Amino acid sequence: MKKRNIAIIAHVDHGKTTLVDKLLSSSGTFRENEEVQERALDSNAIERERGITILAKTTAINYKDYRINILDTPGHADFGGEVERIMNMVDGVLLVVDAYEGTMPQTRFVLKKAMEAGVKPIVIVNKIDKESARPKEVVDEVMDLFIDLGADIEDLDFPVAYCSAMNGTSSLDPDVSTQEPGMQKILDMIIEYIPEPKVDLEGSLQFQPALLDYNDFVGRIGIGRVKRGTMKVNEMVSCVRIDGSIKQFRIAKIYGFLGLKRIEVESAEAGDIVAIAGLPDISVGETICDIGKEEALPILHIDEPTLQMTFGVNTSPFCGREGKILTARKIEERLMKETERDVSLKVVPNDSESFIVSGRGELHLSILIENMRREGFELQVSKPQIIKKEINGVTCEPYEDVQVDVPEEYVGSVIEALGNREGTMDNMETKDGQVKLAYTVPTRGLIGFMTEFMTMTKGYGIMNHTYKEYRKEASSNIGHRKFGVLVSMENGKSTAYALGQLEDRGVMFVEPGVEVYEGMIVGENNHDNDLAINVVKGKNLTNTRSSSKDHTVVLKRPRVMSLEECLDYINEDELVEVTPVSFRMRKKVLNTAERKKLEARKAMEG
């Protein structure tokens, strides 16, 4: 059977995973009566809820006389390391672009990775059925992007298809009336334009894992493409380690892919994308070879982490009320298990009760926290901190490319806010009352900015960012919260009476009847200092009737914070308590008197 190996790349939410669904169903890979849910490849519950792909997925379809291996890649920049390594496994990419939004920061990011790897692109303009679709301008934008990224003349002659992945229709014409049911046009285009893998079946074996998976039965699984030769189950092979050492092992299992299933196969040959098990600590970038013919492939680049957080045992007074898994040993086991499949994640012990976890960005780390919470863990996590690097004797920090789309009336506030966060404007375009801003901003300046940005633009702004590079460290005071917080000074249940009396002090995060403890953050102060308050105070009852009739207390709605918003919000002296039921923000030092002493000591030292 002839082979084609392709990856699907795009900005977040431009429809990659939905397109894969429709390619699977159009190819006849599923049986007539087989039930397939939408976005079938997004198997993790969080992926399905948020509509994002977190880890790359491998699938394959049989179409005509071809086996087409398809890799669905993450669109979010936090998972960009995966995109880079996947380019090593394929000969072509489908670049999916939204027919209205056009090229976005991650479109540039993923296309740059594809061009660096020298793979053949096909452009797919998706969501062609949108009323606001502007397919011709979008194709021009893609052309400009290719030119910006230094494409060769032959690369600019890229084939284009138009589709609505949601409706399952496609055509080769930008006119929406030419859309036909099925994705055959795109499948035919893959066969016609994507080159066959250049392989050497007769040479000695070379196989390099580019992705990892893990299951409890066979342990770590390496997913990659057989570059040369063949391999069989139960065969003894050598693994050339990243440090150059060699370890021999027996191939226990080889898995191929078809539709949504991982199928066991007896052998694999050059050009096949497969998963192998047998070496418990197989790692990305190592090379599997025939014994005695060890020849290592170039080591694959793995993106370094740019953010770190401390994960620790929950020490709040409510510890153990809502979660089942509480101990440091269990937290460590779970974090180490995550590193088995996620090569961009690093975990090192901090002290006996906590661990420093480094990742590619806030989303990367918050998804790990969310998964642990759903599994029954209770833990406390610190504010995300950037990881600084010493480059040529200069302290450097990560910077990001930021693209902002806002209605004209909010543009002044956004420019001012990004300027305060050491952002530099690279470009500004105005069209139909919408302004598109391109900025370079220190990663630190973006921590905590999303909530402020959404408030500032009344929810109409769209912001996307992607890691750019390490640069000289910016000024020290960016990325700090403007306001202080309201901190509970008592344990107990909050009362409507107390909250009503304190409303003019700031914005509350709790409503009446919520259990609170001393040191828990219950609101935001109107001023820049922290304020200890009593939210559990009840009304003194007397047997004298009040001259003015008691009015029912009508309270403003409290601000409800998501996990990412909590992580964004806290300062260095605060933590987020995460349980399967709730998120609570708290001070590291819970006792009010102790905290005041500490603050006074700091003020004297400062």
Same domain flag for 6 and 152: yes
Residue 162 inside a domain? The answer is yes
Q: Please provide the distance, in angstroms rounded to a whole number, between the alpha carbons at the two ends of the chain.
A: 72
Give the domain range for residue 15. Answer: 2-193
For 287, the 3-state DSSP assignment is: strand
Report the alpha-carbon distance of residue 349 to residue 341 in Å, rounded.
Answer: 19
Q: In total, how many domains does the chain have?
A: 3
Same domain flag for 69 and 102: yes
pLDDT at 161: 94
Strand 287-290 to strand 206-215: parallel, antiparallel, or no bridges (unpaired)?
Answer: antiparallel
Report the alpha-carbon distance of residue 443 to residue 397 in Å, rounded.
Answer: 8
Same domain flag for 151 and 263: no
Residue 106 inside a domain? The answer is yes
70: its two tokens: 């398809």
Report the alpha-carbon distance of residue 97 to residue 126 in Å, rounded.
Answer: 6
Instruction: Select from 290, 324, 353 the last residue of a domain.
Output: 290
Tell me the residue ranges of DSSP E strands in 433-573. Answer: 434-442, 462-472, 485-488, 492-493, 506-508, 515-516, 521-525, 531-533
Same domain flag for 112 and 229: no
Same domain flag for 66 and 184: yes
Q: Which residues of 493-515 are buried (b: 16+ CB within 10 A; e: fewer)?
A: ebbbbbbbbbeeebebbbebebb
326, with CB counted inside 10 A (0-12, 13-18, 19+), is middle
Report the alpha-carbon distance of residue 126 to residue 133 in Å, rounded.
Answer: 9
Residue 327 inside a domain? The answer is no
Residue 266 inside a domain? The answer is yes
Find where tokens 């990325």 sit.
479
Phi, psi dihedrals of residue 434, rounded to the nearest 5°: -110, 140
Report the alpha-carbon distance of residue 160 to residue 123 in Å, rounded.
Answer: 5
pLDDT at 126: 92
Number of Cβ within a 10 Å radius of residue 45? 11
Report the alpha-carbon distance of residue 54 to residue 576 in Å, rounded.
Answer: 23
Which of these, 58, 43, 48, lies nearest to 7 by C-alpha position? 58
Residue 109 inside a domain? The answer is yes
pLDDT at 42: 40
Phi, psi dihedrals of residue 522, rounded to the nearest 5°: -115, -5
CB 181 within 8 A of CB 174: no
Identify the helix (H) or strand (E) that includes residue 499: helix 496-502
Instruction: Select from 433, 449, 472 the last residue of a domain.
Output: 472
| Mean pLDDT of successive 10-residue stretches along the chain, which has 606 residues | 87 76 69 40 48 62 88 67 79 91 79 86 92 91 90 86 90 91 91 88 89 82 90 92 89 85 87 90 89 88 83 94 92 90 87 91 85 93 91 90 88 91 90 88 84 82 81 78 90 92 91 94 92 88 54 78 86 93 94 90 79
Same domain flag for 8 and 47: yes
Same domain flag for 151 and 16: yes
Report the alpha-carbon distance of residue 232 to residue 265 in Å, rounded.
Answer: 9
pLDDT at 76: 59
Q: What is the DSSP letter of 241?
A: -
Residue 258 inside a domain? The answer is yes
pLDDT at 118: 87
Same domain flag for 26 and 142: yes
592: left (phi over 0), alpha (psi -120 to 50) or beta: alpha
Same domain flag for 65 and 104: yes
Which of these, 113, 143, 101, lies nearest to 13 by C-alpha position? 101
Looking up residue 105, the CATH number of its domain turns out to be: 3.40.50.300
Looking up residue 465, the CATH number of its domain turns out to be: 3.30.70.240
Same domain flag for 179 and 236: no
Same domain flag for 144 and 226: no
Which of these, 410, 420, 377, 412, lies nearest to 580 by C-alpha position? 377
Instruction: Select from 446, 472, 498 the last residue of a domain.
Output: 472
pTM above 0.85, yes or no: no
CB 111 within 8 A of CB 8: no
pLDDT at 491: 94
CB 9 within 8 A of CB 16: yes
Residue 528 inside a domain? The answer is no
Q: What is the DSSP letter of 230?
A: E
pLDDT at 538: 82
Looking up residue 282, the CATH number of its domain turns out to be: 2.40.30.10
Residue 416 inside a domain? The answer is yes
Same domain flag for 216 and 133: no
